[in-house]
Amino acid sequence: MTKYREIIRLSGLGLSQTNIALSCNASKTTVNKVLKAAREQNLSWPLDPKLTDPVLGRLLFPDSKAKPATSKRMPDYEHIRKELHRDGVNKKLLWTEYLEECRLAGDDPLMYSQFCYYIQQNEQKRRATMHINRKPAEQVEVDWAGDLAHIIDQDTSETMDAHIFVGVMTYSQYPYVEAFMDEKQPSWITAHVHMYEYFGGIARILVPDNCRTAVDHNKGWKDQRINAVYQEMAKHYGTAIIPARVRAPKDKPNAEGSVGNIYTWITVALRNEQFFSLSELNRAIQQKLEDFTHRPFQKKEGSRYDIFRDEELPLLASLPATPYELAE
């Protein structure tokens, strides 16, 4: 079912329809229709708790039944890509030819805006690299680092693995790092709570990896659904979750890139030290993290901390009165 409440909530945060569509696992057309219907009904966030998604669906679209996306004939992307390289050929002409093909085959065609949208999405998938511009305080990327730290049990001398959580502000590349004994949901949620406290505010968009504590994969990797508890945490902090696409590391360029730097300057830098508790390890990590964020850039002025302090921190949303608490 369409997440009507979440679409209206994210619109109230000022997110673009594209980002709302990504967060709610919906098409941009659906988001546009929901927001248009909500404006006609004078509905805005916050909504009455009684207005659940089923109730909103009947209220916003009393006489409509959504058509499945598969009823539309999709463009021939390879043909379109080749044709656009020819002089004088544009999308409007190709859409006109596409309409004629649909008419002859008896297929339901896409509107021109949808036609252009799907072509653009396909082109982005094909690109070897894609530069993503982000505004200050707009987005934070989170992930578990692949490399582990280690703790020695004082009683048994056994070496235990510690898992490293990394959160990176996309614009300034200002990171937060903390070690946990596992990658389970309580650790994942606690890491986010501590990260927001460390940053001193909240970014509008949260981009997690596709780990099970963030995304449910019950219907396969192509149908990503945000974990319910994780969604509740996002609502508490007034942020939107837009999971990175599977096998698309460019969706998290700073988290992916910073993991390597963090591994060098924090985990490897602590390789000759022994730690006998998680708190002891995290104190050492915080000291190395402080050094890392204040280290000057090699090719430009300032440091990660300078950019974060001057350009991002003033724009972050305020923290809620109380931190999110995970209950069972």
**Tens of pLDDT along 9-34?**
999 998 999 889 888 888 888 899 99
pLDDT of 224 reads 62
Q: Are residues 103 and 187 in the same domain?
A: no
State pLDDT tens for residues 136-150: 899 999 988 877 888
Residues 277, 310 within the same domain: yes
The predicted-structure confidence for 95-109, as pLDDT tens digits, reads as follows 988 998 888 888 889
If asked whether residues 43 and 109 sit together in one domain, one would say no
Distance of CA 77 to the CA centre of its chain: 27
Q: Are 166 and 277 part of one and the same domain?
A: yes
> Residue 134: inside a domain, yes or no?
no
Which amino acid does the sequence have at 294?
A: H
Please report whether residue 132 resides in a domain: no
* 254 has a pLDDT exceeding 60: no
Does one domain contain both 12 and 96?
no
Per-residue confidence (pLDDT) for residue 68, from 0 to 100: 45
Half-sphere exposure of 115 (CA within 13 A, CB side): 20
Within a domain: residue 133?
no
Is the predicted pLDDT of residue 66 greater than 80, yes or no?
no
Asked, for residue 73, whether it belongs to a domain, the answer is: yes
CB 282 within 8 A of CB 179: yes
The boundaries of the domain holding residue 245 are: 139-315
The predicted model scores a pTM of 0.68
Q: 52 or 71: whose pLDDT is higher?
A: 52
- Asked if residue 163 and residue 18 are part of one domain, the reply reads no
Q: How many domains does the chain have?
A: 3
Same domain for 187 and 307: yes
Same domain, 172 and 104: no
Q: What is the mean pLDDT of residues 194-220?
A: 80
Please tell me whether residues 109 and 198 are part of one structural domain. Answer: no
Tell me, yes or no, whether 292 lies in a domain. yes
Q: 3-state secondary structure string, the chain?
A: CCCHHHHHHHHHCCCCHHHHHHHCCCCHHHHHHHHHHHHHCCCCCCCCCCCCHHHHHHHHCCCCCCCCHHHECCCCHHHHHHHHCCCCCCHHHHHHHHHHHHHHHCCECCCHHHHHHHHHHHHHHHCCCCCCCCCCCCEEEEEECCCCEEEECCCCCCEEEEEEEEEEECCCCCEEEEEECCCCHHHHHHHHHHHHHHHCCECCEEEECCCCCCEECCCCCCCCEECHHHHHHHHHHCCEECCCCCCCHHHCHHHHHHHHHHHHHHHHHHCCCCCCCHHHHHHHHHHHHHHHHHCECCCCCCEHHHHHHHHHHHHCECCCCCCCCCCC
Asked whether residue 271 is assigned to any structural domain, the reply reads yes
| Same-domain status, 173 and 272 | yes
Q: Are 197 and 281 members of one domain? A: yes
Residue 322 lies in a domain: no
Segment among 152-166, 241-255, 274-288 with least mean pLDDT = 241-255
Query: Same domain for 88 and 51?
Result: no
* Domain finish residue from 60, 81, 97: 60
pLDDT at 219: 52
Q: How many CB atoms lie within 10 A of CB 71?
A: 8
- Domain end (from 99, 126, 153): 126
Q: Is residue 228 part of a domain?
A: yes
